[in-house]
Structure 1
Amino acid sequence: MTEKDFSLRLAQLREEKGVSARDMSLSMGQNPGYINNIESGKSMPSLSGIFYICEYLDITPKDFFDVETSNPTKATELYNIAKKLDSEQLDHLIALAKGLQK
């Protein structure tokens, strides 16, 4: 993932959460322009900053870097529900998901 990809991914996930860059920055205890500077490519977070960003977004770092999953929060929610289903229920869920992909 390039720095530009990181910035775009952060903006995407932040927007899906429905929060402004300023509010996210302040909620994380950072200066008001912290997230905006990352999204604009002016700076990059430290490793601990990435963990704080993920914690704020309620996702794992794996979810953040998995760009094939457009909405990791909902994907995780679905996965957690699916873990509790029996085999027949999972078959129905898979069939429904395949139908939605078309």
Structure 2
Amino acid sequence: MDEFVKNRITQLRIKKGVSEYQMSYDLGHSRGYINNISSGKSLPSLNEFFSICDYFEITPVEFFDQQQQNPELVNKALSKFKLLNDSDMILVLSLLNRLCEKQG
């Protein structure tokens, strides 16, 4: 579990394009806070874990979803999708189906 947490934070941080120092600062900690987590020296407290999830704009469930490589991007797409009318949703779904067929 420790290995997963540190690797997941690193993965999400890199996708977000922020340094360990910047993330530590953004979360209100000393510059080495995220480095200590990434190196396995410490784990975040439960409250800090929730703050980290908020920082990445994801839920704790999404944090632990190993198949979800970019949950922040998926959440942004989903929030926009919810604003569409029914006919536009059908159009987007058909496009997604077509793109997925090309992937597989």
Alignment of 1:1-102 (within 5 A): 2-101=1-100, 102=103
Q: 2:45 is aligned with what amino acid?
A: S
* CA distance in structure 2 between the aligned counterparts of 1:23 and 1:71, rounded to whole angstroms: 20
Shift of 1:74: 1.2
Runs of 4+ residues deviating >4 angstroms: none
Q: How big is each residue's C-alpha offset from its partner over 1:19-38, in whole Å with a ceiling of 9 and x where there is no partner? A: 00011112211121111111
Cα RMSD between the aligned structures?
Answer: 1.4
Taking only the aligned residue pairs, the percentage that are identical comes to 40
| TM-score (normalizing by structure 2) | 0.85
Shift of 1:66: 2.0
Q: 1:42 is aligned with what amino acid?
A: K
* CA distance in structure 1 between the aligned counterparts of 2:73 and 2:10, rounded to whole angstroms: 17
* CA distance in structure 2 between the aligned counterparts of 1:97 and 1:77, rounded to whole angstroms: 16
Shift of 1:59: 2.2
Q: How many residues align?
A: 101
Q: Which runs of 5+ in 1 are unaligned?
A: none
